[in-house]
Structure 1
Amino acid sequence: MNSAEEMLALKEHIEKERKTYEDEIHTLNNKLEMMTIAMQEKETTLHQKLVEVEARTAQTNEKFREYKDDVKKITKERQNYLKNERAYRDTEQRLTKERRKTADLQRRLDELKEKLAEHTQTPSCGNGES
């Protein structure tokens, strides 16, 4: 083999390697592009999920605020109810006490009327009857 043939063989070998590397570069670029597209799709999907989760969280937070407000309202209403219940019991006790007093006074009045009636029905002694 002479040097021209060696040069030609070397040139063919280099050309084959260059073609192999170019094919590999092309394949890797295609893979990179596909991975980039897949990554973008995953990012989009994750972003959509994040938006959904944030929306549900906001909705849940709003419901929580509403429930919290309802609990405050119910607690206040319960406090008012208990206050009114105490006032009602106090009033009932005072009314019962006043009814007892009234009954006692009525009994005493009836006793006095009875005594007065007895006194007016009995003849007076020493009025100068002849």
Structure 2
Amino acid sequence: MAGHRIFGTPFAAIHPHYVAKAERKGRTRAEVDEVIRWLTGYDEAGLQAALDDEVTLEAFFADAPAMNPNATLITGLICGIRVEEIDDPLMQRIRYMDKLVDEVGRGKKMESILRVPKG
């Protein structure tokens, strides 16, 4: 059974769009990369390797060192769909990443985006 066509899209093809979206709102590539690393567990070198190797989104998430356990705290709408209600685990991870980048672009504080516990 074939997955959604986005699964075969290279991560390197969408990353520049994430960065451009953030930069239009006065944010930086470093902030975009920080939230992606938080979500996936990649370090800077691993993230850059995924970009350089043009891995698909499916491979990007399959090879992610460690999905952040707090990713389940990411809620809300993305493309009109509640991310917490997405059944397909890969699509949900992609939408988590979209949501985090949206939050960067909206100017939310990094502590809030990274779901840092209050206390």
Looking at both structures, which has the greater relative contact order when contacts are Cα pairs under 8 Å and sequence separation is at least 6?
2
Higher helix share: 1
- If the TM-score is normalised by the length of the shorter chain, which range does it land in? under 0.3
Normalising to structure 2: TM-score of the pair?
Answer: 0.18
